[in-house]
Amino acid sequence: MMDRVIVGAIGGAFGVHGEVRLKSYCADPAAIADYAPLTTEDGRSFAQIVLTGQTKNGLTARIDGITTKEEADALRNTPLYAARAVMPATEEDEFYYTDLIGLTVVDTGGATLGTVKNVMDHGAGDLLELSVAGTSETVLLPFTQAVVPTVDLTAGRIVADPPEGLF
């Protein structure tokens, strides 16, 4: 498991005084500010996040160190990560997406189907994007209890019962 969890992304500038549009991936979108300091992939750290409002697709915020529109725009589409230690513990059958990436997926008979490359949520339910061994092809597997009855983080594997014809 990784020592950090993606919690959101900067969407660019909001106004001309350094505020940013912020997309939160948290169950409670406003909770993103509670997980500060947030870091970027390149290691930049933001110690304080102050939420200032809402937009149609997210939040607006002031982030320490960002004071101009140009600085905010330079961070457009930058993922933000929180330390795993400050994140709430998951309940049974709840997972952070980052914990699923890289797990081997096997069918109910034990045959390897692929490896989790990505987890996507487009609003209609989560999908596991699987890299299929020996090809550059990926397969989207619905991440539902019926299709994925077992996730074993300790063993590093997922047991799936994919719909007929998917593989």
Tens-digit pLDDT profile for residues 84-102? 999 988 888 888 888 899 9
Whether the predicted pLDDT of 1 surpasses 70: no
Average of per-residue pLDDT across 127-139: 91
- Which residues have C-beta within 8 Å of that of residue 19, sequence separation ≥ 6? 13, 52, 60, 61, 62, 72
pTM: 0.75
Q: What confidence tier does 165 reach under pLDDT thresholds 50, 70, 90?
A: confident
Give, for 69, the enclosing helix (H) or strand (E): helix 69-74
Strand 49-55 versus strand 45-46 pairing type: unpaired
Lowest mean pLDDT: which of 31-40, 62-71, 94-103, 140-149? Answer: 94-103
**pLDDT bracket for residue 124 (50, 70, 90):** confident
List the one residue out of 21, 25, 26, 18 whose CA is nearest residue 10.
Answer: 21
C-alpha span between 23 and 30 (Å, rounded): 10
Mean per-residue pLDDT over the chain, rounded: 92
Supply 121's token pair.
Answer: 């949520």
* Domains of the chain and CATH, by start: 4-86 (2.40.30.60), 97-160 (2.30.30.240)
